[in-house]
Structure 1
């Protein structure tokens, strides 16, 4: 392994984390990191500050993709949700396990590409405005202005203060009530303004619009998870830093269900688009392989 290859290998988890936060897609993040590697392969030996150089390359590649992604999402069938990742995977950087949530990635969609870049670089990776300005080729004042606008856009979004330890028991009670067809018990766990977001991307059956309100959400969930409705199996996992339920049908990953809330469930996210499950399914396969070798 050359020195340049070793440097890039060391930077890869951080670069993936940056690209994933920017794009909300693990598949696209991998593509960006691969593109960055191809550029690094031709310049790596002559770069004085590899971390800064690679951060700039990855950020700018992501900005290019975000411009086209916005157009694609305007025609996306149903609600768009971020692509989930298994955050207990050893290949995922520690900071991602602690802070990359589906809620955050979803709300980042409200930002323009430059606002998102500044927010991610500042909030997730702690870069100074001088460093951000160099990456984006703007002034420090411009970086500060973009950061201020990003924070204002996100200020109106409710924050979730519950820890994974809080959410885990709530999720288990939630799933049990839905599986048992216990409408009354399920409604007791739901906030009055609860919302379900279901992402099938037009490829599998899913709600085409968000479902709001305790009664409507309870009926919907019992309708898809209740007795005689779901014939697959489920397993608990840590997805995007929080407890989630993985649904399997005929041994294949069929969906991810995650909830947000503290004492009550306020948001339910169901990811069923097969294209968005391939990365997580590959992580699960690698994890199973590692467990098998270690036994």
Structure 2
């Protein structure tokens, strides 16, 4: 077997994974095939040794997809709603239906609201376990910045498709939580928290007296008990939340079935500048 034949065989073995990455990045089976084919052409033209071909190809596919998403944005090309795209005449409905079924129609809808770099960071890290060091190379940012891109995307994904009525109900849960926090009502705090709630804080927020990550309703409730005196209700990138102007801290809450399952504390000034925060 020649070197070219061996490379082609390895590529074909990796094709399903590469296609899955591209599908979730682009939301289109036909465009995913184009991206994977372009990755093969780049591999064939590159004569350098690849110590980890899977990682190399994943990052190349990521770059190609990022360029394709940016081209959509530059052309101000709004993608068709997923349900309409499945019926479009210029794509294979069966392929698109398989994609929607494997990813989830609701997730596809939310992914299309993300910026190209947010989508890439979320898909590569959360769906395919690519390290932030490798993602940073693709997006041209630091690993910490890549982590924040994925974090912002995760918040929007957790918020789900927009539903004004549901958003109001979730905000009511957060409002009750903040009131209980101010009043030192530990019992109410516990009833509003999921038993497995997780609270994550960036480095700046952790320096304010918290921890990078805290798990469990009792621990999180104890942390908030008697606090939140300066917190004001806010919409944090589509999630119910709160903002504490005195210390420049944003709290984004994930609420599922009437209980808080996750709280993310963000205080890094650069990240706050890029976040969509609307006081209520």
What TM-score bracket applies, with the shorter chain setting the length? 0.3 to 0.5
TM-score, with length taken from structure 2: 0.48
Indicate the structure whose relative CO is greater, using CA pairs within 8 Å and at least 6 residues apart: 1
The structure having more radius of gyration, on CA atoms, is 2
